[in-house]
Amino acid sequence: MKVIKVNYDQVPHISKRDLAYIKGDENLRPFYNYDFSFDAFSQIISDRKSFPVNRNLLVATLKKQYQDQPTSDSTNKNIASLSDDNTFTIITAHQPSLLTGPLYFIYKICSVINLCKRLKEAHPDSDFIPTFILGAEDHDFEEINHFKVFNKSIVWETEQKGAVGRMSIDGIRKVLDETKEILGQSPNAQEISDIFDQSLSTAKTYFDFVFGYVNKLFSEYGLVIINMDNPQLKGSFAPIIKSEVLDNLSQATVNKTIDNIEAAGFKGQATPREINFFYLSENSRERIVFEDDLYKVLNTDFKFSKEEMISEIDTHPERFSPNVIVRPLYQEFTLPNLAYIGGGGELAYWMERKEQFAAAKIFYPMLIRRNSAQWNDGGILKQQVKLGLSSIDFLKGEHNLINNFIEANATEEVDLSEEKKIIEDAFAKMAEKAKAIEGPLEKYVLAEQAKQLKVTNQIEGKLLKVIKQKHDVSLNKIKSLKEKQFPSQSLQERKNNFLQQYIKHGKSYIDFLVTHLDPFVKEYMIVEEG
């Protein structure tokens, strides 16, 4: 494998704010605590010790969640070590996407594992646990119920509602059968199919199913997966739930920060509500609102007075589900965490939370932009070579890519720049003479110049069109290669699934990513299969 690293400002589809954070734009600096630098961890470790968590509860919860899972010695050791005050987590999180969904699901996990290894080497007196929060409470089924492999879409069809992690596995067998048909019968395809089958055979809920195969793929690296949809963990968080539901902890502080971010030249990401909790019931996850002196759950008959709401939080904390505004507070309250690794969109809403964390007296971690990577297989590379192009060339827009190819390969002269210059010079002289004879005539001459240049541009366009037709086969190949590297005009990691490479390389694919996805290498990675 050959790895090419490219500055992010050369990569299409990277947002303004994302690029600004990667490059350390000073306009964003007021909105996070720690520089995006590996050297900052000495200070972070020291600061984190002033924010203790309930480690006994955390370890007991994790052991219970893992009790029915075949668990590696590395993961068991990491869970046990969380009882030690000198052990810390590095977190990433994602929805339980169908068969991992988009590639960045995998990239996040690999980046966390890589960073924990680096931290242990730099700080041998502490332990660092790669931790994956699997978002079981999310109810946006349309976001997690599909994935794409080899340009074919697989969709989980079910009529279930509510928190996706609590859903039954009804319909998953059909998903796996369709996936097997696409993947074929190679040893690697059979291996990953067996992993999915084993996970399904022991699962009672959709969360169990996802937990099972993610654990199987990553447990040897010591990855710890946690389900935050837990009564005991939420019970410990009850004071913050009350502050949010009864006193609107987040709204004012987050809105103020969003105003400041917009004043700095960036768009707001996630607007807070007055109450930033959902109420979980069977097959339902609905917003809590305060109306007519009552706390109501939308689209249900649930209503609570203030006293009843306090009692409900104390008695059934598991029924209260944080939205994107409060979820970071819950994570950092529960785990002895140093840093959160996420994509540009995630870090954008985290940057709106600094003052919220201060108001809640919860530790605000380092924010780390996860790695982004592109995988160009042997077929792509062979076609690129035949066309005289490189992977770097395909970072350009399709229009520029094609025009550059024509310019390099056409034997006929297409560029009419010299002719345009002759026209401009001739009309400039005519305009000067016209002005000397009668001032208003100059405008007439310049208008005629514009017409002639327009005609010349049209001629140039027609010439280019004819040349493109002569290179039609090559240009279609270029368009096809562009689509493979940037599917639907997006990054591979947002559209493709890891299975596409796993069936070629098996577990060595995961090993490769864990080795190379270092989030402090702030460059886009292009992997060329050799």
pLDDT in tens, 204-223: 999 999 999 999 999 999 99
Distance CA 411, CA 414 (A): 9
Q: Kindly give the interhelix angle for 507-516 and 104-122, rounded to the nearest 10 degrees.
A: 50
Which residues of the chain are under the pLDDT cut of 50? none
How many of the other CB atoms lie within 10 Å of CB of 344? 19
How confident is the model at residue 455, as a pLDDT? 84
DSSP 3-state of 35: coil
pLDDT in tens, 46-57: 999 999 999 999
How confident is the model at residue 216, as a pLDDT? 97
How confident is the model at residue 131, as a pLDDT? 98
φ and ψ at residue 106, rounded to 5 degrees:
-70, -40
95-97-100 Cα angle (round to 5) = 120
Edge-first strand listing for the sheet containing 524-528 = 2-6, 524-528, 373-376
The answer to whether 411 and 429 are in contact (CB under 8 A) is no
DSSP 3-state of 390: coil
Q: On the CB side of 493, how many CA atoms lie within 13 Å of its CA?
A: 20
For residue 245, what are its two tokens?
Answer: 């539901």
How confident is the model at residue 470, as a pLDDT? 56
φ and ψ at residue 120, rounded to 5 degrees:
-65, -40
DSSP 3-state of 372: coil
Give the rounded distance of the alpha carbon of 190 from its chain centre.
29
Distance CA 88, CA 66 (A): 19
Strands 127-134 and 2-6: unpaired
